[in-house]
Chains A and B, each alone.
Chain A
């Protein structure tokens, strides 16, 4: 991978009932990395460890060239958490003044432009915003201080498809500057299929894979077959499988080679959603 805006190496954090287990991945500069995984897989814990909200038991996080989060110039980081991020009794106008006094690089013009673009009223209290409006507001703030690395935890959840599309386009515009990068965790894998350059899949606190999205979509496939063919498929080729009502579904990492080997099999390209589902719900041979 190219120069990394963010790099996690063997990061671990142990809780009573959950362990973030030695996770490592990178966010290369100029790219969008999608962090996927089911609820409770460890996406938010990983993001919290990156941002220094929780202490790590071991491992290192290198962000914009610094390993100590306190040494990172936080002007260069834009963060959006799931749900609300700001005191609900304040208005965007008041919060704008607050941020003006916090960020040296605060761009008042950009802030107002984004509020206008998203139809967010300046004088309405955040508590009267809908979930989507809160998310749009958080994204406006993240884009208003010249951040080079955006970290978004479920940022597109709660938004309608049109608004999601608009925000995804903003991410794509953002990374046109090759110094900029985005790490976005999401349940909505179709969003990531549209914009992400890399997909990091986390399951039970462990990284299952960290791969270029195109490689996943081009190579992974699902063989849909009956029991006879299933028994004939080599163990080494099967990543995971599921028994459905009338067929077996088998996730393979190289669908072209599988098609050559088993010409009679129906092999369809696997979406990220399906890959995730097979890893989580499927069985390993």
Chain B
């Protein structure tokens, strides 16, 4: 799996520098206009998305075909995408948290509660779409998988908004928002784990 991850890292690295630089400048500027903690979400989503992009890159370069001939089980090829997605989400979370903390400190506005809440929000908006977009990218062609990826973010937004609206009728949500986001983050991780467990064996049976 190390070789597969290395290959994805090289692919991502080729376009990542410019992307990160853009986000550091735009994000830092935005952090002073709106809440700096939004950066955590932006960085996590942007970085994790790169992993899903590599699946399409593999298809367009025929690596998906070639990789089946490598001495690596096909399940592991699919799993490596889940590993990379998770690692990139984690990296985005850490980088985003670091930059937003610096921005908050510069504004004399540091508070651990929003840091935690936005970190949880970042987990939701990366793990939940990931659990949908990774299998979609393997299963469908480029156009359809892009639709699947967009839908996965829409479904995530829908789940967050739906949960907030439903819970708002029973509890005073403002007092419990951190807890609700925290629970949703845990559910998102569980969803991601389920997708990771179920999809590789199904995708392995698909003709290339």
Which of A's residues lie within 8 Å of B, judged by CB? 48, 51-55, 70, 73-75, 77, 79, 81, 83-90, 94-95, 97-104, 126, 151
Contact = CB atoms under 8 A, between A and B. Distances in A.
B14 A89 contact: yes
B141 to A, nearest CB: 16
B70 interface: yes
Which secondary structure dominates where chain B touches chain A? helix
Nearest to A15: B207
A79 B63 CA distance: 12
Nearest to B68: A53
5 contacts: A48-B208, A51-B68, A51-B69, A81-B62, A88-B61
A79 B208 CA distance: 15
Interface residues of B, number: 26
B75 to A, nearest CB: 10
Contacts of A88: 61
Contacts of A97: 6
A86 B11 contact: no
Contacts of B205: 55
Given A94-B10, A99-B3, A100-B3, A81 B71 contact: no
Given A48-B208, A74-B71, A53 B65 contact: yes
Contact of A87 (B61, B69, B74, B207): B61
B25 interface: no
- Greatest chain B CB density within 10 A among A86, A95, A104 is at A86
B71 A104 contact: yes
B71 A102 contact: yes
Given A87-B7, A89-B14, A101-B6, A81 B66 contact: yes
B65 A90 contact: no
B52 to A, nearest CB: 15
Interface of B: 2-4, 6-7, 10-11, 14-15, 57-58, 61-63, 65-66, 68-74, 205, 207-208
Contacts of A98: 3-4, 6-7, 10
A85 B66 contact: yes
B207 A55 contact: yes
A219 to B, nearest CB: 36
B63 A87 contact: yes
Given A53-B207, A84-B61, A102-B4, 18 more contacts: A51-B69, A53-B65, A73-B71, A74-B69, A74-B72, A79-B66, A79-B69, A86-B66, A87-B63, A89-B10, A97-B6, A98-B7, A98-B10, A100-B3, A101-B6, A102-B70, A103-B70, A104-B71
A84 B68 CA distance: 15
Contacts of B2: 101
A-B interface, 3 closest residue pairs, ranked by CB to CB distance from nearest: A101-B3, A102-B3, A74-B71
B61 to A, nearest CB: 5
A256 to B, nearest CB: 43
A70 to B, nearest CB: 7
A85 B6 contact: no
